[in-house]
Amino acid sequence: MTPSAPHQPDSPLIQASELHAALSGPDAGAWLVLDCRFQLAHPQAGEAAYQQGHIPDAVYAHLDRDLSGAKDGHNGRHPLPDAARFIEGLRQWGLTPATRVVTCDDAGGMFAARAWWMLRHWLGHPWVQVLDGGWQAWLALAHATAASDDGLASWVEDTLPPPRAPGHTGHLAVHDAQVLGCVDVLAGLDQPEAMRLLDARAPDRFRGDNETLDPVGGHIPGAVNRFFQLNLDADGRLKPAAQLRAEFDSLLGPGAAHTVVHQCGSGVTACHNLLAMDVAGLTGTRLFAGSWSAWCADPSRPMTR
């Protein structure tokens, strides 16, 4: 019999103490941790770090290999993967309708948010959360609670986990309405009341300065800049929901969430703003998956430089 799906969690975030309690409890097998650590400049660094130490039984989700698809020169630097291939990967990782998924990284959630969005919003899996504070929060709590080095064994694993039994993913379905392409965004430029572009890149790249990742600097006309790192406190956790809501309302205006389309350089850090708005209760926003790297591939598209 197919297990019933869990209700949606109260928050898109989970704390390290909550995750440890879940993984130590009788229902540990119902949880799937995706380790999404990655470095854009060193694409193998995250997987190497995972092999050196990770949350017990976590599986590694590589940004380029698992969370992105093939590039064709027009679809951006991190296009969404083929949905059927990604769903099959999730099945091999043991995903079922009842699985509680937690994504984590060591970069404030910038890569974990991508995996969270793909499962929760793109494919509609009911229970997906991001580990607030990521790998650093996990290690900090481990060292705070472990009485000896041996005590860390329940927190950190340095061997690859055994293969999980394949799951069943028939409950997943692609939600096309959550994703916009270049044609959709171009049409939306004439309807600013219906589409508010929110660009998650650093302010200098938004202005067109110091562009090192894409061949053209600048931004889409009418876009508003919200650097994704502004969502974080000094300890690397997301700011409280009320504070995030006040900041987004101040930037976008109250009641504008349903018009917001998130973008960045390649559709990765844009998901962090989407996550932060969900945490703040500002739901219904969407993603321009190709983002600036897809947009600027066609010089005929309007650009502010």
Catalytic-labelled residue, pool 36, 104, 182, 264: 264
- List phi, psi (to 5°) of 47: -70, -35
Which residue carries 């197919």 as its tokens? 2
CB–CB of 4/98 below 8 Å? yes
Instruction: Identify the CA nearest to 20 among candidates 137, 150, 149.
Output: 137
Task: Sort 209 into a burial class: Cβ within 10 Å, 0-12 / 13-18 / 19+.
Answer: exposed
CA-CA distance, 218 to 273, in Å (whole number)? Answer: 19
Instruction: Identify the CA nearest to 50 among candidates 119, 105, 129.
Output: 105
Provide CB contacts within 8 A for 74, sequence distance 6+.
294, 297, 298
Q: Is 271 a catalytic residue?
A: no
CB–CB of 245/282 below 8 Å? yes
Number of Cβ within 10 Å of residue 17's Cβ equals 13
Which residue carries 């009418």 as its tokens? 222
In this structure, which amino acid lies at residue 154?
S
3-state secondary structure 263-305: ECCCCCCHHHHHHHHHHCCCCCCEEECCHHHHHCCCCCCCCEC
CB–CB of 79/68 below 8 Å? yes
CB–CB of 15/137 below 8 Å? yes
| Residues β-bridged to residue 225 | 199
What residues act catalytically? 264
